[in-house]
């Protein structure tokens, strides 16, 4: 158990040359898409607030815990939308707290809108390596880190009533996180890329709707152009989430998803990540509640039962008394 935890912690928290996914993982990503894509701001055509908590591998001490808060709304000039996202991510001895202000400009296009989003914000990265229980002391884990990291990101998002597609990179600036390290292996905050798409298919009018969606996450897409030789070959897999859900009477969402890496189909050393189920309910007053559970499909199932998420949000449907258009994503 100790060896398993040490491997997990070093892989997730230290993030050396063989980088993994650094940005927080969410099963209910469709309810906090603003965290990944600033172009999503204002897409619900009214003010929307969401708060989500995720506990991953909850039986393991020091495993990831993440909270996100999002708020976004269109302005009087309906082509302009603004938003705010705050994410707190804790993994073992490391903690990252960041916030972003978001601006999006939306252009009517056909049956939908094309949105261009920008965000700017700041993160506080902290690490206390003395909290690690290392069997063999290593100078790479001496001392503490406390850094302030300004950053900015961009995204594009097209959506209509029954379809959406988008691409983004929420943090474009890459940082070395271990400036004081004296070894050749150190942590680096790598640029992440996201691609998302989904459709809504009526099964029985608007009473029962089927929604398949896809999210792809990549690290180091252009790492070969890095000025640092150590980071020209980032070893992170390209991860994808496939989600299938049903919406009943525009109130009850029930869904199931599968998360893995593309490399898991071609590399025998890789494995599938998780199978997930989730549920969400939107009340008539605009309150939204939901929960999700991930069951691990990798060897982690030997030491943990998985991960869970809980979510609460509120939809300010200012246009409800007019010709309202429900938003399904």
Q: Is residue 99 situated within a structural domain?
A: yes
Q: Is residue 28 situated within a structural domain?
A: yes
Q: How far is CA 195 from the centre of its chain?
A: 12
Locus of tokens 């808060």: 69
Residue 20 has pLDDT above 50, yes or no: no
What domain range includes position 166? 2-316
The pTM assigned to this predicted structure is 0.85
Q: Is residue 223 situated within a structural domain?
A: yes
Q: Is residue 327 situated within a structural domain?
A: no
CATH number (domain holding residue 108): 2.40.160.40
Q: Is residue 326 situated within a structural domain?
A: no
Greater confidence, 6 or 227?
227
Residue 161 has pLDDT above 60, yes or no: yes
Q: Is residue 121 situated within a structural domain?
A: yes
pLDDT given for residue 5 in this prediction: 40
pLDDT per position as a tens digit, 94-109? 899 999 999 999 999 9
Q: Is residue 329 situated within a structural domain?
A: no
Residue 223: CB atoms within 10 Å: 18
pLDDT per position as a tens digit, 247-283? 999 899 999 999 988 766 666 656 688 899 999 999 9
Q: Is residue 324 situated within a structural domain?
A: no
Number of domains in the chain: 1
Q: Highest mean pLDDT: which of 8-12, 51-55, 93-97, 295-299?
A: 51-55
Greater confidence, 234 or 88?
88
């Amino acid at each position: 158990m100790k060896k398993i935890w040490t491997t997990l912690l070093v892989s997730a928290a230290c993030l050396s040359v063989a980088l993994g996914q650094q940005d927080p993982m969410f099963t209910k990503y469709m309810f906090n898409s603003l965290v990944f894509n600033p172009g999503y701001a204002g897409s619900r055509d009214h003010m929307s607030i969401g708060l989500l908590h995720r506990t991953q591998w909850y039986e393991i001490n020091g495993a990831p815990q993440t909270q996100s808060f999002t708020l976004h709304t269109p302005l009087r000039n309906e082509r302009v939308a603004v938003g705010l996202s705050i994410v707190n991510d804790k993994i073992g001895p490391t903690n990252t707290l960041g916030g972003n202000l978001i601006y999006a400009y939306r252009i009517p296009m056909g049956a939908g809108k094309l949105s261009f989003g920008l965000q700017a914000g700041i993160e506080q990265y902290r690490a206390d390596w003395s909290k690690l229980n290392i069997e063999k002391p290593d100078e790479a884990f001496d001392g503490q880190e406390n850094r302030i990291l300004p950053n900015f990101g961009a995204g594009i998002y097209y959506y209509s009533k029954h379809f959406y597609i988008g691409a983004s990179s929420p943090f474009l600036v890459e940082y070395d996180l271990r400036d004081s390290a004296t070894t050749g292996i150190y942590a680096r905050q790598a640029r992440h890329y996201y691609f998302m798409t989904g459709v809504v298919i009526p099964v029985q009018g608007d009473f029962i709707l089927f929604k398949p969606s896809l999210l792809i996450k990549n690290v180091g897409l252009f790492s070969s152009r890095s000025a640092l030789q150590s980071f020209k070959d980032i070893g992170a897999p390209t991860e994808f989430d496939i989600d299938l859900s049903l919406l009943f009477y525009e109130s009850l969402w029930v869904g199931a998803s599968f998360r893995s890496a593309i490399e898991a189909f071609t590399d025998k050393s890789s494995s599938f990540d998780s199978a997930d189920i989730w549920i969400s309910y939107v009340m008539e007053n605009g309150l939204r509640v939901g929960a999700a559970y991930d069951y691990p499909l990798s060897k982690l199932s030997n030491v943990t039962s998985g991960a869970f998420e809980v979510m609460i949000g509120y939809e300010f449907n200012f246009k409800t008394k007019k010709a309202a258009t429900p938003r399904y994503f």
